[in-house]
A and B are shown apart, each in its own frame.
Chain A
Amino acid sequence: MKAPAKGYGSYGPNPWQQTSWDARAAGNFIGGGMGSGLIVFAALSLATGPALSALVLSGLGLVALGLLCVALELGRPLRAIRVLRNPRTSWMAREAWTAMLLFPIGLAAAAGVTGMAWIAAGLALVFVYCQARLLQAAKGIPAWREPLLRSLLVTTGLVEGGGVFMLTAPFHGVATGATVILFGALVVARFVVWVAYRRRLAGSAAPGARAVLDAAGRVLMFAGTLLPLVLMAVAAFAGVFGLPIAALAGLLAALAGAWAKLVIVTRAGLNQGFALAHLPVRGARP
């Protein structure tokens, strides 16, 4: 079915792509997940000094960039502060409250205050979890309301953050063996979750949504999983070229995750249309 013109809704039973959230909303999930993941990896690497500051500030910058993206989507951006009013039931409000805590704690961590990096990492995890719940609470979109989407958004956020961590490893120099192994494990875990998520959509999401997800899945499998894992293995034996090769692996894993999220929001966001449980019975009966 041809998608209706923007703002005009649809007029039939067939699902169509939602038009309320576009790439700006996806940007929030991409920036937020990537930034949060980077802050988590910064803490796990046990970095200190300028390296920790640079990593945490970069993570906060990505989170801020994501929030800026979504602010650009607001119909009334000057009222944005009201997003904090309903943490009782809204995951968007909870995400905003977590961000309000994450920024000062993250800045304290970047300033070198002892122990703050771990608290910031914890808040970053809460932030990315809020984002996952936020999207999954959108009941109108079958591909979003699938519960496994939560695990997918959390794991891909961590992989994307880990990817940026690996990408910048030649500069910060704090990529330990443990963080590299964790990154590899998360890359594998993300793909496993993706496969399970895609299977769960078999009976609920519209064929159009499944088709675009399959295409994104291929990107995630080759560019986001297999290639990074191979590159990481090669990097382990590449001597001085190890870091640049690992950086390339990180870049690919991060970009593939970001692409998958962009597709989920902007192309797999088909609603379920309208459904008649019964057709009207009129006139004479057979």
Chain B
Amino acid sequence: MTRWVMVADLRRCVGCQTCTAACRQANATPPGVQWRRVLDIEQGEYPEVTRAFVPVGCQHCDDPPCMEVCPTTATKKRADGIVTIDYDICIGCAYCAVACPYQARSKTLRPRFAYGTEMENEAKRRDDSRLGVATKCTFCVDRIDAGLAQGKTPGVDPEATPACVNSCIAQALSFGDLDDPQSSVSQLLAHNASFRMHEELGTGPGFYYLWDRKAEATE
């Protein structure tokens, strides 16, 4: 079996937002819609203040609440764990958006352009099937599938790896198969302490956050 997951090393992320820009470029999302966001979180009181940059987006959950509530079956989960939306089936009720504990979903009713009027590059990549329906991070599923078809390995070969991971300047983002013990994500999780967001909700996110070396975290 294969379970595609993403790992974000919070110690490495510098909050440069390159992943956000790469995602927007790769997926042509409209202004205001970011499938890969990076939160800038400051916690604590002076002088004990810590700042963390936290990449967020669809967590491609094991038990996605968005899929359960979807009245149309537009949201589905593939065998490899990727949660997808069929834009031709979605009715845009936004039930999935309120069911998602990670605020990963967006709905755009009308075309939006960076500078008001549509530019040439925006016209070329315009996709009206994404208007009025729910959209979210796909883990760049098209790249993964195309890469696999060419014998590439997602998470290793850039052609088969999500755009945000490819673009990360600090190698804070990693992608791979959780069911493969030799994959980079499995190795990272084996040697580092990690957590998943809102784990208490039982959604089983496919997005892990590293925060310390494993041996030292347990001291």
Contact = CB atoms under 8 A, between A and B. Distances in A.
A12 B41 contact: yes
B72 A82 contact: yes
Interface stretch (A36-44, A133-141, A192-200, A207-215): A133-141
A138 B99 contact: yes
Contact of B92 (A5, A12, A74, A139): A74
Contacts of A137: 65, 68-69, 99
Interface string A243-286: 00000000000000000000000000101101111111110010
B49 to A, nearest CB: 10
A274 B41 contact: yes
Categorize the interface residue count of chain B.
35 or more
Categorize the interface residue count of chain A.
35 or more
A151 interface: no
B41 to A, nearest CB: 5
B194 to A, nearest CB: 9
A8 interface: yes
Interface string B90-125: 111111011111110111110000000000000000
Interface stretch (B32-40, B137-145, B159-167, B183-191): B32-40
A276 B71 contact: no
Nearest to A285: B216
A75 interface: yes
Interface stretch (B149-157, B174-182, B198-206): B198-206
B147 interface: no
A85 B21 CA distance: 36
B69 A9 contact: no
Given A11-B39, A86-B73, A20 B211 contact: no
17 contacts: A5-B32, A9-B34, A10-B103, A12-B40, A73-B93, A74-B91, A76-B90, A82-B72, A86-B72, A86-B73, A89-B69, A90-B68, A274-B56, A277-B209, A278-B211, A280-B212, A281-B212
Interface of B: 10-11, 32-34, 37, 39-41, 43, 50, 52, 54, 56, 65, 67-74, 89-95, 97-103, 105-109, 131-134, 193, 195, 197-199, 201, 203, 209-213, 216-217
